Chains A and B, each alone.
Chain A
C-alpha cells in the first residue's frame, strides 16, 4: 500500500507539472466562461449550451488530452520503469493500479471540477430547461465515455513501448469506432450518438433504457480493458 501511495503521489506530481494538463485546463475553462456569458446575455437554453460545450469543446479536447496522458502512462516511462521503480519493492499490480488511479482520477477530477461549476452557472444565468436527473445522467454519460477512453489508453500503454504509436492507435480506434459501430448496427454505442443526444438527456427526454445501457456498458468495457492491461503488464518482460 505504501508503494501504491508513493507512486500515486509521484505520478500526480508528474501530471501537475505537465504542460499538457495545464494547457488542457486552460482550453476547457476559457470557452466554459465564454459560453456562460453568451448564454446569459442571449437567453440561450441551458440544455443546448451544456450540450454544445460538452459535445463540441470538452469531448474533442479532452479526447486528445486524455489519449496522450493515458497512452503515455506506462510507455512514457519505459526507459525508467525497470531501473528506477520496479526493481524496488513494488509489485507490478501496485504500480499499474497507481497509474490507473492517477490518470483516470485526473481525467475525471478535472472533468467534474470544470463541469459542475459550469452547470451551476449556466442553469442560473441561462434559460433553465434542464431536469436534475437529466443533468446527472448526462454528466455521468460523458464521464463514463472519458473513463473508457482513459482505460483504453492505459491498456495500449502497457502493450506498446512507443508513446506516439500508442496515442495514434488510440485516436485511430476512436475515429474508426463510429464507422464500425454503424456497420454493426450499434450506432447508439458510438460517442457521437451519445454526445448528439446530450441536450435531450439534460432535459430528461431520453428514454431511460438508452441512458442505462450506456451507463452500464462503458464501465463494463472499461473494467475489461483495465483487466487486460493488468494481465498484460504482469506478463511483460521489462
Chain B
C-alpha cells in the first residue's frame, strides 16, 4: 500500500519560481524513506504540500490513500510532522504546548498527560519541562518538535532535517529514536543533508534536485550503485608508472581517476561487476611493481553516488536546454501556418521528450 503518492506534483510560486517540477514520489507502508537533495531542491515544499499547508500548482498528492488538502484534518491526525528549525509559541512550556497538541489531536486529557511525559523523557526534555520555550536552544526545539510530532502516535512521520542543530550525542539519540520508531506499520519520511543519517536509518532513498526526483529506490540498490566502479588504492614506490598506465585499465573515456597524494581513486563508468575492476587494478599494481598499502571500494559511497546523480542530472539539464534552444531556432525559421513547418508537440509529448515549452519551465 502506498502511504504517499504524488504524480507530476508541480509548485510554482508567484509565477516566478519553480519549486517542484513534476515530482513523482511513491512511499510504501513501513518504509523509512530518506529524501536527499541540496538546499532549495524542493524537499520542504513537498512536505508542505503533503501536509496541506500549501496548494500544488499542478499534479496530485495523495497521503494515506486520499487526496490531501488544507481542510483534511482527519488525514493530518494520522501524520506527525517535524519542520526544519521548528518554531513554537514562545511563552508556553513544553508541557503546555504538548497538552495543546494533544487537545488538537483529540486525545483525552489523561492520555495526553501520560503520552507527553513519556515523550519528554524519550527526547530528554524532562528537566526543561517547566521552562518557557523562548529560552530553548535549537537542539531543544528540535527535540520538542520530535515529541510534538509523536503525540498522536502517527502512522506517517514526516521529519524535515531531524538532526539539524543537534550536537553529536543529540544526533545519535535522534537517529536511535527514529530507528526505534520504524517498523510497527509506521512509515517515516526523512529529509536531510546528512547522508550518513540516511545510510544509517533509511530503507529507501530518493534524490531530489531542482524540484524533480532524479533517483528513487531501495537503499541497498543505492549502495550497490555507489560501490559500483569505485576502487581506491594507496600505493608506494614507482607511482609515476602507475599513474601513466591508469588509463589502460578500461576503454578510453569509460573511467575517471584522481590522485590524492599516494592514493588513486579510480571510478569505472562501465557496467561490469566490481570484482572485475578490482582484479584489473591489482593487475596494474603487479605490472608496475608498486607496493600496495591499502585498497578499498566505495569510500564515502553514498555521498559519491549522490553527487554523481546530481552531476548526471545537471548534464542532462544542459542537454535539455540545448534541445529546447534547437526547437526554438527551428520555430523561428518557419511560420507556424506555413506548409512544412514543424508541428509544436503536445504538452505531454514535450514533457516526455524532456523539452519544456516555456523557457521558464
Contact = CB atoms under 8 A, between A and B. Distances in A.
Interface of A: 2-3, 5-7, 9-10, 14, 17, 77, 79-80, 82-94, 234-235, 237-238
Contacts of B324: none
B140 to A, nearest CB: 15
Contact of B54 (A79, A88, A91, A238): A238
| Residue of B72, B74, B105 ringed by the most chain A CB atoms within 10 A | B105
B103 interface: yes
Count class of interface residues, chain B: 20 to 34
Given A6-B103, A10-B100, A87 B71 contact: no
Contacts, number: 82
Contacts of A77: 89
30 contacts: A2-B103, A3-B104, A5-B103, A17-B91, A77-B89, A80-B88, A82-B83, A83-B86, A83-B87, A84-B86, A84-B87, A84-B89, A85-B104, A86-B53, A86-B70, A87-B53, A87-B81, A87-B83, A89-B73, A89-B74, A89-B77, A89-B105, A89-B152, A90-B76, A91-B71, A92-B70, A237-B53, A237-B54, A238-B48, A238-B54
B47 to A, nearest CB: 9
B101 interface: yes
Contacts of B77: 88-89
A83 B159 CA distance: 12
Interface in B55-109: 55, 70-74, 76-77, 81, 83, 86-89, 91, 97, 100-101, 103-106
A84 B73 contact: no
A7 B99 CA distance: 12
A235 B55 CA distance: 8
Interface of B: 13, 48, 51, 53-55, 70-74, 76-77, 81, 83, 86-89, 91, 97, 100-101, 103-106, 145, 148, 152
B106 A84 contact: no
A177 B89 CA distance: 35
B240 to A, nearest CB: 58
Contacts of A91: 70-73
Contacts of A7: 104
A91 B103 CA distance: 14
Closest A-B pairs by Cβ, 3 of them: A6-B103, A89-B77, A237-B54
Contacts of A237: 13, 48, 53-55
